[in-house]
Amino acid sequence: MVEPILKWAGGKRQLLPEITGRFPVEFERYHEPFVGGGAVYFHLEPEGGSINDLNDRLVTLYEVIRDRDPEALIAENRSHEHDEEYYYDARDEFNELHELDDKTADERLREASLFVYLNRTCFNGLYRENNSGEFNVPVGRYANPDWVQADRIRALHDVLRDTAIHNGDFEYVREEASEGDLVYFDPPYEPVSTTADFTDYHAEGFDRDDQRRLRDLAVDLDAMGVSVVLSNSPPVAELYEDAEGFTVHVVEATRAINSDADNRGEVAEVLITNVPEARQRRTTLSTFE
């Protein structure tokens, strides 16, 4: 199992046994249209397949890890400093690079390195953008943060070597997936209260209409013979009540990343799947992977 390089809100390391336990024992290619920090993808270490995310900075990072010599990113990471003034200068540079339409290979490398550095030194490991698409998380307080991440970069380079990486809408998988494939969806969650907001990790957000589009896509993939597993918050379960062949399971997850410390801890999540119980790993294997 390869460890993710980023801290990521909504990351699935706590739920890996629950999620992968509902995967089919056998499948062809694996696709993850909301890859985020990649905990499930990197745990699985699939051969080929595809990942996608709307966050173009995140996609740049994964493309750099896949396509460049990993030692180049490691060397760039070692150039950063553990200093508050440096952090805010780095954040400004990160946002300036994001404004460039056409980046050179070196600028892409620098942006990827800044992403890792900021993620490992910002407040609580949050990723958040303002309405202008600027990363705006303040500096965190860490005694000895590791932003070099040398071993993980080398390992991720090997995992991503044959992976197709997309930067667009999740519906790309309609054309990418084929019968016998597996798709795991981990979208921005439906808020569980009027004050909760899971859309500020990207300036464009993700609303109820997007959740319905996702449901419709899941139903279409099911008709194509594609296995689907989806995680979300409990309010989304009602969208799948009339989706024939899909079942909903409630699980508990630990949330360590939240801007409000009072909202960290155990929360309910739902796992929705069309994989028959008899084909799920959790029922055919004596232990979780």
Given a contact cutoff of 8 angstroms between Cβ atoms, the answer to whether 217 and 173 are in contact is yes
Whether the full predicted model's pTM is greater than 0.75, yes or no, is yes
pLDDT exceeds cutoff 90 at 13: no
pLDDT exceeds cutoff 70 at 162: yes
Residues contacting residue 92 through CB under 8 Å, at least 6 positions apart: none
Sheet-wide strand order for 182-185? 164-166, 50-52, 30-32, 182-185, 227-232, 265-273, 247-255
CATH topology of domain 16-56+147-279: Rossmann fold (3.40.50)
In the chain, what percentage of residues exceed pLDDT 90?
A: 81
pLDDT exceeds cutoff 90 at 238: yes
pLDDT exceeds cutoff 60 at 35: yes
pLDDT exceeds cutoff 60 at 173: yes
- The residue ranges of every structural domain in the chain are 16-56+147-279
pLDDT band for 208, please (50, 70, 90 cuts).
very high
- 240-249: average pLDDT: 95
* Position 123, amino acid: F
